[in-house]
């Protein structure tokens, strides 16, 4: 399964023509539907803004744990060749130092994995929220009850009010387009971060543990179920979707598990995590500014 990047050839975002459902709602129902749809959209986009902030927090924590893991790994590599100076007469100093660093290494791996799981959880919430923007009408036309749901018992109700503008100009489908664009950025970034986690784990573990952190293995119980919810699991390959850069539209090369990255390689990994190459922050700011103007609400 390959993820396509959105077209960013134009700095100003242009929405496609809204899709129209099979039948428009009666005017009396539309008058009741619009306020309910407005409340729902404000609520869902407020959630997305909150999840965006949660992502930033979890990503920052993950970068901190990754840095500590890299520093510990490098220290372990250098201990055998270190000049101990006046400490050279202390028995088993290198052995004791290595044992302590190994414990720290295990701790930082656990913390990095926890941050990664937090990112997966945030993305799962984003995906669910992006699919909850439609407002389905329940009841009769004379006394309708408006219900918010991702599905409808009435196959003739598309949940978009017949393409009616919800606020000023945009239909439900227009809001969904923006949500899909936003979610795609974070989906692509999570896949890239998983690559970095696997690489960092692989190069900070004992040789016998290398296969445990293979790309095709779960990093934690139930991970693949979570990735399926985010469209990041390929049933064809039986593993996670290959990471890619949004702009380049190219898959990353497979991991070389027998490699031993040097300090410069490790720094590239940390910088890649920090920069979040698949997330266009300027575009996100533009999106939320457009949304706030359309919905007359403060989101960020």
State residue 86's pLDDT score: 52
Report yes or no: 216 and 292 within 8 Å, Cβ to Cβ: no
- In whole angstroms, give the CA distance from residue 116 to residue 192: 11
Q: Would you say the pTM of this structure is higher than 0.75?
A: yes
Q: What is the pLDDT along the chain (300 residues), one digit of tens a residue?
A: 334 443 433 333 444 433 334 356 677 777 888 888 999 999 999 999 999 999 999 999 999 999 999 999 888 877 765 666 656 666 677 778 888 888 999 999 999 999 999 999 999 999 999 999 998 877 655 554 555 565 676 777 788 888 889 999 999 999 999 999 999 999 999 999 999 999 999 876 654 455 567 888 999 999 999 999 999 999 998 999 999 887 655 555 554 544 566 778 888 999 999 999 999 999 999 999 999 999 999 986
Q: Are 298 and 288 in contact (CB under 8 A)?
A: no
Domain spans of the chain? 27-82+89-295
* pLDDT at residue 288, as a whole number: 96
Total number of residues shown for the chain: 300
Question: Would you state the pLDDT for residue 229?
Answer: 96
Exposure on the CB side of residue 206, measured as CA atoms within 13 A: 5
d(CA 223, CA 240): 10
């Amino acid at each position: 399964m390959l993820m396509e990047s959105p077209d960013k050839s134009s700095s100003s975002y242009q929405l496609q023509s809204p899709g129209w459902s099979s039948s428009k709602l009666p005017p009396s129902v539309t008058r009741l539907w619009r306020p309910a749809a407005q409340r729902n959209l404000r609520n869902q986009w407020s959630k997305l803004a909150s999840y965006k902030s949660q992502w930033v927090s979890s990503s920052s924590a993950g970068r901190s744990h990754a840095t500590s893991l890299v520093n510990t790994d490098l220290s372990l590599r250098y201990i055998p060749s270190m000049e101990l100076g006046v400490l050279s007469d202390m028995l088993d100093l290198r052995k004791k130092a290595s044992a302590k660093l190994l414990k720290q290494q295990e701790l930082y791996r656990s913390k990095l994995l926890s941050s990664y799981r937090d990112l997966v959880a945030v993305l799962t919430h984003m995906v669910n929220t992006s699919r909850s923007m439609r407002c389905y009408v329940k009841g009769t036309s004379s006394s309708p009850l408006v219900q918010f749901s991702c599905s409808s018992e009435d196959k003739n109700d598309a949940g978009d009010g017949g393409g009616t503008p919800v606020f000023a100009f945009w239909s439900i489908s227009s809001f969904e387009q923006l949500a899909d664009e936003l979610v795609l950025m974070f989906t692509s970034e999570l896949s890239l971060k998983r690559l970095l986690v696997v690489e960092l784990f692989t190069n900070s573990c004992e040789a016998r543990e290398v296969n445990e952190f293979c790309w095709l293995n779960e990093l934690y119980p139930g991970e693949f179920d979570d990735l399926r919810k985010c469209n990041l699991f390929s049933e064809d390959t039986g593993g996670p979707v290959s990471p890619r850069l949004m702009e380049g539209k190219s898959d990353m090369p497979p991991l070389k598990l027998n490699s031993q990255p040097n300090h410069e390689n490790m720094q590239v990994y940390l910088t890649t995590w920090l920069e979040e190459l698949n997330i266009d922050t300027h575009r996100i700011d533009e999106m939320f500014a457009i949304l706030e103007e359309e919905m007359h609400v403060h989101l960020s």
